[in-house]
Every structure is written in C-alpha cells, then in structure tokens.
C-alpha cells in the first residue's frame, strides 16, 4: 500500500482563497505540536448533502486552532478553483456570519450542509461554487445559516505530494 504524505495548508488573511494558502512544511520540528480537534463529518463541495454528525478527530498543528475550531471532510469538486479538493479535510472556525465572498460552511433549511462562497444582497443569497462547470445556488436569506469559515486544509494522498 503506498504511503502518502500529509500536508497542512494555513489560510493567510486578506487574500483571495485561491491564493491564500501557506504550506506548513513540517510543523512538529518547528515546535508546533499536533492537536486533536473534532472531525464532525462531511461537507458537500457540490450539491448539498444531509447534515450527519460524526465523532472522529483529526490532528492538526496548533497554529491552525482558534477558539471554536472543528474539521469536516470535503466531498465533491465545487471548490477546486480555491484549491479545496475532494477528500481534503477543512479546518473551520465556528462563526454565525460571513462577509461577501467568504468561503463558508452553510446549512440550508436546517438539514443540508454545503461549502461555497457566500454572497448576500437584497434579493437573497447566492452560494457560488469555485468551479466554473457548476451553477450557483440561489436562496432566501432565511433559508441559510452560516456554520463557519474555512481557515485551513489538511491534505493527504496524491495531491499532497
């Protein structure tokens, strides 16, 4: 069985998400201990999926941890232009609001969860994929709840090499 390397990507502030990732080369020798955080399940980067809780954990460098941090495994390829791929584990800071253009985990109608760029205007909300082959999702403001913002990525497998 091939052995895959794990890569940790930390989000740099004030940059578009596609350009915001800084590779943490080897966090442990640099004194950045790995810390376990809850891996609460999967999030769709495609069509929204039903929210299902999980009780696993994932180890990440302590510099990726904020006050309310958790992780979700990405399913789908709607965020590939932001360098978030199917199978990645995203590190989320729990927040209830997001600025226009932020990449957020969003719950739709209290049952489905998706990962998209969020745009809000008077007509409602647009959940925009970062993949030109996929169409945006248009909803009313009252149909969504922001669960958190993407702060980092844990990548294993071929894409990490």
Residues noted as catalytic = 78, 116
Please state the separation of Cα 22 from the chain's center in Å.
Answer: 15
The percent of the chain in helix, strand and coil, each rounded to the nearest 5, is 10, 50, 40
Provide the CB-side half-sphere exposure for 20 (13 A, CA): 18
Tokens of 56: 């696993």
Q: Exposed e or buried b for every residue in 15-49, given b needs 16+ CB within 10 A?
A: eebeebbeebeebeeeebeeeebebbbbbbbbebb
CA distance 38 to 61: 14
The C-alpha R_g of the chain, in whole angstroms, comes to 15
């Amino acid at each position: 069985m091939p052995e895959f390397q794990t890569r940790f990507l930390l989000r740099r502030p004030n940059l578009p998400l596609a350009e915001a990732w800084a590779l943490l080369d080897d966090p442990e020798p640099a004194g950045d201990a790995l810390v376990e955080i809850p891996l609460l399940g999967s999030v769709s980067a495609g069509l929204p999926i039903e929210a299902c809780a999980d009780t696993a954990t994932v180890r990440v460098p302590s510099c990726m941890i904020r006050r309310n941090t958790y992780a979700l495994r990405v399913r789908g390829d709607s965020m590939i232009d932001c360098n978030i791929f199917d199978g990645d584990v995203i590190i989320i800071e729990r927040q209830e609001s997001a600025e226009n253009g932020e990449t957020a985990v969003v719950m739709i109608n209290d049952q489905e969860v998706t990962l998209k760029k969020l745009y809000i205007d008077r007509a409602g909300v647009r959940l925009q994929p970062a993949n030109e082959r996929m169409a945006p999702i248009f909803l009313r403001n009252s149909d969504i709840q922001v669960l958190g913002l993407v702060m980092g990525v844990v990548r294993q497998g071929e894409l990490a090499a």
